[in-house]
Protein backbone atom coordinates (compact mmCIF):
# COMPACT_ATOMS: atom_id res chain seq x y z
CA UNK A 1 0.00 0.00 0.00
CA UNK A 2 1.11 3.56 -0.62
CA UNK A 3 0.00 6.51 1.50
CA UNK A 4 -1.37 9.53 -0.37
CA UNK A 5 -3.16 12.78 0.56
CA UNK A 6 -6.54 13.93 -0.74
CA UNK A 7 -6.86 17.59 -1.71
CA UNK A 8 -8.91 18.14 1.47
CA UNK A 9 -5.89 17.02 3.51
CA UNK A 10 -6.98 13.58 4.69
CA UNK A 11 -4.54 10.74 4.15
CA UNK A 12 -5.47 7.35 2.72
CA UNK A 13 -3.76 4.21 1.48
CA UNK A 14 -4.22 2.70 -1.96
CA UNK A 15 -3.09 -0.63 -3.34
CA UNK A 16 -0.80 0.17 -6.31
CA UNK A 17 -1.76 -3.12 -7.96
CA UNK A 18 -5.28 -1.70 -8.44
CA UNK A 19 -4.12 1.44 -10.26
CA UNK A 20 -5.05 1.59 -13.93
CA UNK A 21 -3.57 5.02 -14.59
CA UNK A 22 -2.37 8.24 -12.97
CA UNK A 23 -3.03 11.55 -14.74
CA UNK A 24 -1.95 15.16 -14.15
CA UNK A 25 -4.86 17.32 -15.39
CA UNK A 26 -3.53 19.69 -13.64
CA UNK A 27 -4.54 17.90 -10.40
CA UNK A 28 -3.23 14.37 -10.02
CA UNK A 29 -6.04 11.87 -10.61
CA UNK A 30 -5.73 8.18 -9.80
CA UNK A 31 -8.02 5.84 -11.70
CA UNK A 32 -8.45 2.35 -10.28
CA UNK A 33 -9.27 -0.77 -12.30
CA UNK A 34 -12.93 -0.57 -11.24
CA UNK A 35 -13.20 3.04 -12.47
CA UNK A 36 -12.99 4.71 -9.04
CA UNK A 37 -11.14 8.03 -9.21
CA UNK A 38 -9.19 9.83 -6.50
CA UNK A 39 -7.76 13.34 -6.71
CA UNK A 40 -4.56 13.60 -4.67
CA UNK A 41 -2.24 16.39 -3.58
CA UNK A 42 0.94 14.56 -4.64
CA UNK A 43 2.29 15.16 -8.11
CA UNK A 44 2.38 12.61 -10.91
CA UNK A 45 6.12 11.95 -10.53
CA UNK A 46 5.80 11.44 -6.78
CA UNK A 47 2.95 8.94 -7.15
CA UNK A 48 4.88 7.02 -9.81
CA UNK A 49 7.96 7.07 -7.56
CA UNK A 50 6.00 5.71 -4.60
CA UNK A 51 4.56 2.92 -6.74
CA UNK A 52 8.07 2.05 -7.98
CA UNK A 53 9.41 2.08 -4.39
CA UNK A 54 6.54 -0.15 -3.24
CA UNK A 55 7.19 -2.67 -6.00
CA UNK A 56 10.95 -2.63 -5.34
CA UNK A 57 10.23 -3.35 -1.67
CA UNK A 58 7.98 -6.28 -2.60
CA UNK A 59 10.65 -7.76 -4.88
CA UNK A 60 13.43 -7.22 -2.32
CA UNK A 61 11.34 -8.86 0.42
CA UNK A 62 10.55 -11.86 -1.79
CA UNK A 63 14.24 -12.25 -2.65
CA UNK A 64 15.27 -12.00 1.01
CA UNK A 65 12.70 -14.64 2.01
CA UNK A 66 13.89 -16.97 -0.77
CA UNK A 67 17.51 -16.54 0.36
CA UNK A 68 16.56 -17.22 4.00
CA UNK A 69 14.66 -20.34 2.96
CA UNK A 70 17.64 -21.57 0.92
CA UNK A 71 19.99 -20.91 3.86
CA UNK A 72 17.67 -22.82 6.22
CA UNK A 73 17.54 -25.76 3.79
CA UNK A 74 21.35 -25.76 3.54
CA UNK A 75 21.67 -25.71 7.33
CA UNK A 76 19.23 -28.62 7.62
CA UNK A 77 21.28 -30.53 5.03
CA UNK A 78 24.48 -29.86 6.99
CA UNK A 79 22.86 -31.05 10.23
CA UNK A 80 21.67 -34.24 8.55
CA UNK A 81 25.13 -34.82 7.07
CA UNK A 82 26.74 -34.43 10.50
CA UNK A 83 24.49 -37.00 12.20
CA UNK A 84 26.47 -39.08 14.75
CA UNK A 85 25.16 -42.42 13.42
CA UNK A 86 24.68 -43.91 9.96
CA UNK A 87 21.26 -43.88 8.32
CA UNK A 88 20.80 -47.64 8.77
CA UNK A 89 21.39 -47.56 12.54
CA UNK A 90 18.73 -46.35 14.93
CA UNK A 91 20.03 -44.73 18.11
CA UNK A 92 19.27 -46.58 21.34
CA UNK A 93 16.70 -44.82 23.42
CA UNK A 94 16.15 -45.05 27.15
CA UNK A 95 13.30 -47.37 28.16
CA UNK A 96 9.90 -45.77 28.57
CA UNK A 97 8.74 -45.06 32.10
CA UNK A 98 5.16 -46.21 32.71
CA UNK A 99 2.72 -43.65 34.06
CA UNK A 100 0.93 -44.71 37.23
CA UNK A 101 -2.27 -43.47 38.69
CA UNK A 102 -2.15 -41.85 42.06
CA UNK A 103 -3.86 -43.85 44.72
CA UNK A 104 -6.39 -42.01 46.79
CA UNK A 105 -6.09 -42.37 50.55
- What digits encode the pLDDT tens for the residues 32-54? 999 999 999 999 999 999 999 99
Give the global pTM.
0.67
Residue 84 confidence (pLDDT): 66
Residue 98 belongs to a domain: no
Residue 97 belongs to a domain: no
Residue 103 belongs to a domain: no
Residues of the chain with pLDDT > 90, as a percent, come to 63
Residue 10 confidence (pLDDT): 97
Residue 102 belongs to a domain: no
Residue 90 belongs to a domain: no
* pLDDT < 50 positions in the chain: none
Residue 89 confidence (pLDDT): 67
Residue 51 belongs to a domain: yes
Report the run of H or E that residue 79 belongs to, with start and end: helix 44-81
Residue 55 belongs to a domain: yes
The tally of domains found in the chain comes to 1
Report the run of H or E that residue 22 belongs to, with start and end: strand 19-24
Range(s) of the domain holding residue 10: 2-75
Residue 60 belongs to a domain: yes
Amino acid sequence: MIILTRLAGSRFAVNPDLLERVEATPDTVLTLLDGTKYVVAEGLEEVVGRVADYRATVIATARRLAEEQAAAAELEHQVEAAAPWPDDVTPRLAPAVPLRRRRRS
